[in-house]
Amino acid sequence: MDSGSKGMINDLPDELLCHILSYLTTKEAASTSLLSRRWRYLVAFLTNLEFDDSIFLYPDKRVKNPLHDEEGFVLFVDNKRVKLSTSFPDFVDRILDLQGNSPLHKFSLKMVDDHDPVDPDSVVPWIHKVLVRGVSDLQLVVDMNEWTSDPLPSRIFLSETLVKLTIKIRDGPFIDVKHVHLPKLKTLYLRSVVFDENDIGFSKLLSGCPMLEELVIDHIGSCVWTSCPVSVATLKRLTFCCENLKSCGMHEENPNNVSFDTPNLVYLEYAEVIANNYPKVNFDSLVEAKIDIWMTDDQIEETFRDNEENYMVGNATDFIVGICNVRVLYLSPDTLEVLTYCCKQIPIFNNLTHLTMKSNPKVGWKSLQKLLKNSPKLETLVFQGLLHRETEEEGVATCLSSSSVKVLKILFISDDKIEKQIEKVKHFLVTMPRLEQLVLHYDSSIDGDMKVSSQLLMLSRLASPKCKVQLIPLVT
């Protein structure tokens, strides 16, 4: 950096310099106190604090950190050079004491067990201090084996200032939500948390957030809302990714009742085993949805035992009907199976213009033909892979020939059964007269002698004159 650049930076007001430092971790921001007298006290006025014990203890060795020497960390306090202990808790204590009770916007605390041992008794006062300072964005990422009995401070859920709350806990404290009052909270992110009263606690939490707009529930057992409807009129974005017990080798059961009363929801990401019942599904304003619902092992076995036509092993009809207003839809392979064996009827998707579906060699496309037939305004169709289990009379090509699809994207052509995939693309081109664009992403590693790309280029001859074929190699 030349002297002119340094001068420009030093001419900036303190407020702007603090804003720039807010994009750094607190450790990095504190290290700037050694740059010059001007920078010595800026850390005391930071409104964003981010403490991460992994960054604190294991910095990039390629970059020499001026804040660190053999004896500890250095910080200027009252115009004096102060050496701090190399421990993470001491560093957090020193920064919080230095800032006093000044207003605070964001406080992020990330702690992982086996890094620098942190006494849970130290964490609670930290949380209390930032809550008193009116923090609006609180992030707690905790993975501590020692903190297993006492809950997180209940004061977190009685904040008048919190707008965004993120709690990610693994092997840590449970959430005590006996009393909840979060009048300004708009974003709530919960991962791997345990409620003190399971679904009752979850219900109390939602009822205490009258302004909630975004809710993320990640890796939490469906028991938290089996009997608790998600009824939030203000909610606009909902992400629910249930813990998949099947992937952990554990037996999975269907939730009993799952209900949604979210009339203003525009975005839904939902991953869970199908429920026995969906008493209420209100997604009247839904624009985009990513759906991954699956059957239990028992239900899958039942589909193989009974060959009767239209035999249903579950009932997800009410849920599928509830999302039929969606415009952009992403479906997993398991969801296609659910549409086949757990949906008595596929509704008309009158607003659907963009459909993406992921393929799996073990999953058939039987339900896809019905979905395409019932999507009269579909313009963009994306296949994430073309390999699937062959089923009789799928009729997918027939449905496409009468559809309004203009753009077909295939991500991607792999080296597995390559000829079969190319034949399928040819079939699409012949049977889709309205197609205006075909985009093919293919694995470039399978094209050593250029045969594959040559075959794909020849596909353009089968397309109508108005259809543009685009090849995009993926470098692996």
Instruction: Note the pLDDT tens digit of each residue in 194-203.
Output: 777 656 778 8
- DSSP code of residue 274: P
Give the whole-angstrom CA distance, residue 124 versus residue 426: 63
Q: Tens digit of pLDDT for each residue in 166-194?
A: 998 876 677 878 889 999 999 999 988 87
Tokens at 147, concatenated: 């903190």
Burial class (CB in 10 A: 0-12, 13-18, 19+), 100: exposed
Q: Is the pLDDT of residue 260 over 80?
A: yes
Write the DSSP assignment of 271-302 as a string of letters.
EEEPPSB-S-EE-TT--EEEEEEE--HHHHHH
Are the beta carbons of 356 and 329 closer than 8 angstroms?
yes
Confidence of residue 1 (pLDDT cuts 50, 70, 90): very low
* Mean pLDDT, rounded, for 351-356: 97
Q: What is the pLDDT of residue 154?
A: 86
Tokens at 287, concatenated: 């624009």
Q: What is the pLDDT of residue 59?
A: 46
Q: Is the pLDDT of residue 378 over 60?
A: yes
Give the whole-angstrom CA distance, residue 225 versus residue 201: 9
Q: Is the pLDDT of residue 64 over 60?
A: no
Planar angle of CA 198, 204, 207, nearest 5 degrees:
140
Query: To the nearest whole number, what is the mean pLDDT of the chain?
Result: 79
Burial class (CB in 10 A: 0-12, 13-18, 19+), 286: buried
Tokens at 33, concatenated: 């106190």
Confidence of residue 117 (pLDDT cuts 50, 70, 90): low
Query: What H or E segment, with its residue span, contains residue 328?
Result: strand 328-331
* Mean pLDDT, rounded, for 226-235: 84
Instruction: Provide the residue type at 450 as one letter.
Output: M
Tokens at 334, concatenated: 């398991």
pTM of the model: 0.83
Q: Is the pLDDT of residue 95 over 50?
A: yes
Q: Is the pLDDT of residue 47 over 60?
A: yes
Contacts of 97 (CB under 8 A, 6+ apart): none
Q: Tens digit of pLDDT for each residue in 139-152?
A: 998 876 666 557 78
- Say which residue, 16 or 311, is predicted with more confidence: 311
Q: Is the pLDDT of residue 53 over 90?
A: no
